Structure 1
Amino acid sequence: MSSSTPGVVVVTGASGGIGAAICRRFAREGWTVVGTSRDAASAPAPEGVAMRDLDVADAASVRSFVHEVLGAHGRVDVLVNNAGIGAVGAAEDTEVEILERVLQVNLTGVARLTRALLPGMRDRGTGRVVNVSSAVGLVPAPYMAAYAASKHALEGWSVSVDHETREHGVRVLLVEPGYTDTGFDDAVLRPAEATGAYDRRVEALEAFLTRALRSGDSPEVVAAVVWKAATGAVWTVRFPAGRLAHVAAAAHRLAPRPVFDAALRRAIGLPFRPR
């Protein structure tokens, strides 16, 4: 697939932040851009972007959306699965319903929409699926167990599917942002009740995340990496996006486990060793 040949791209979770930046990048390059939101009517549409309703966790919504898009455009050349939700809280406190909801959106929703659009890509012998993961998909952070589980699952699913589809001309790739200055913190689920045993640590983590996100990379940094993954030559399945993501990927690959573990705990204010 060449960036000099504009096509049709679908970007989920396009109402703001990274998704909106991805839409703007593709629109600027002359692509036909379909962005999605659970409430497209109230979502600001970037110039050159057609916003459509889609709830990736709802099978009927996905079927209706795919029927509409293929009816209007005949094909989808690139699918960017960007829609996602987060969860913060101790695993002991986090209700199973929160874990199920996070997996519904961050994993099952990706699989559902990808499966619906893969046949057309396979039949044409070309296509890209770019799944927006996270540095947490490589490095699980404490008090984010549900989110980390969803992103680790997404990473494994994506790599497996990429092996299956390569011979048909379709690549399934991962973009792994670090801390990005978006409104993602507004889409975070939290336990309804807590034991109190972890409150101090969770509050410290939330304060750390708030600071890190506000000083993080711009959404345009991630959009540029998505563009590269979607249209450029592919030498890898994983594309780190931003400063922290590159550092985390290198450290995860090269640092001895005890050193890496200690650095992670130090960064978020946890004691190095259990009492």
Structure 2
Amino acid sequence: MTTLRPVALVTGASSGIGKASALALAEAGFEVVGTSRDTSRADPLDGVTLLDLDVASDASVATAVRDVIGRLGRIDVLVNNAGMGAIGAAEESSLAQAQDIFNVNVFGVMRMTTAVLPHMRAQGRGRIINISSVVGFLPSPYMAVYAASKHAIEGYSESLDHEVRVHGVRALLVEPAYTNTGFEANSSRPDTPLQVYADQRRAFDRMMESAIRDGDDPAIVAEVIVAAATDPKPKLRYTAGPTAGRASLLRRIAPARVFDQQIRKLNQLAG
């Protein structure tokens, strides 16, 4: 079976930003396939076909991409949304824990990208939209491992975009700030917690809980993802929501000393 509509593949589509973006792309006229590690536990989505996929598995990625192309004939847009959160001081996360996070947040994106690129190059068009974060360009104390994974995605995406543009393919970044999802509650916690960081970590947890609760609706981020998928002249980076826009501006124009002070103030750090 093939379709005349453009095809979008969205990873991590069972909740949050992924769910909102899958629905928004379907509303915008895309044939949408949304993935989850276990679709039997996911609610049905209007206009979205759900497919099992574990981005941490080479075999699962290859099978899913092959299935989508077999069913629909092509993939025009890939939204790499699946990811893991992680909260805790850098010293409190073991190397094994950090590797698990990178295996999803970084290598999962690479697996998906490598799987779809041959098809996009062959058809002479395609967009790979990687969901980054403001902590892809900002430091985030007590989220060092997560921030490192998003910094990696920023460097990978920008480099990739230069490589594939000649083939009609673009690699783009969407950078949300705090979004009202289950991010904070679902983030992994330190597997080697240290008492010396306990008080500050608890303060950070309270700040994050409040920020996520008062954060942007996932639909705001989904609207930006649709723009990245459809803009005639796409930008490399799309900030999503007013907080992300302000953070990006601060990063670009604030003197280093002022920027450093603002980061410490935001995160309620002494000194």
Give distance in 2, aligned partners of 1:262 and 1:256. Answer: 10
Give distance in 2, aligned partners of 1:235 and 1:121. Answer: 17
Mapped contact 2:12–2:36 kept (Cα < 8 A): yes
Give distance in 2, aligned partners of 1:126 and 1:161. Answer: 15
1:134-213 paired onto structure 2 within 5 Å:
134-213=133-212
1:61-94 deviations in Å (ceiling 9; x for gaps): 1111112111101110000000000111111111
Residue 99 of structure 1 corresponds to 98
Give distance in 1, aligned partners of 2:83 and 2:33. Answer: 17
1:197-240 deviations in Å (ceiling 9; x for gaps): 01111111111011001101000000000010111033531100
1:7-51 deviations in Å (ceiling 9; x for gaps): 000000000111110011111122111000000111112101111
- Aligned-residue CA RMSD (Å): 1.1
Deviation at 1:186, TM superposition (A): 3.0
| 3-state SS of 1:36 partner | strand
Give distance in 1, aligned partners of 2:234 and 2:35. Answer: 29
Q: How many residues align?
A: 268
Residue 239 of structure 1 corresponds to 238
* Percent of aligned pairs sharing the same letter: 49
The list of structure 1 runs, each at least 4 consecutive aligned residues, that deviate by more than 6 angstroms after superposition, is: none
Task: Give me the TM-score of the superposition, normalised by structure 1.
Answer: 0.95
Mapped contact 2:224–2:240 kept (Cα < 8 A): yes
- Report the more deviating stretch, 235-244 or 116-125: 235-244
Give distance in 2, aligned partners of 1:235 and 1:169. Answer: 12
Give distance in 1, aligned partners of 2:29 and 2:238. Answer: 23
Residue 124 of structure 2 corresponds to 125
1:250-265 paired onto structure 2 within 5 Å:
250-265=249-264
Give distance in 2, aligned partners of 1:52 and 1:226. Answer: 20
Residue 87 of structure 1 corresponds to 86
Residue 55 of structure 2 corresponds to 56
Residue 37 of structure 2 corresponds to 38
For structure 1, the 5+ residue unaligned runs are: none
Residue 10 of structure 1 corresponds to 9
- Report the more deviating stretch, 156-165 or 260-269: 260-269
Task: Give me the TM-score of the superposition, normalised by structure 2.
Answer: 0.97
Mapped contact 1:87–1:98 kept (Cα < 8 A): no
Deviation at 1:98, TM superposition (A): 1.3
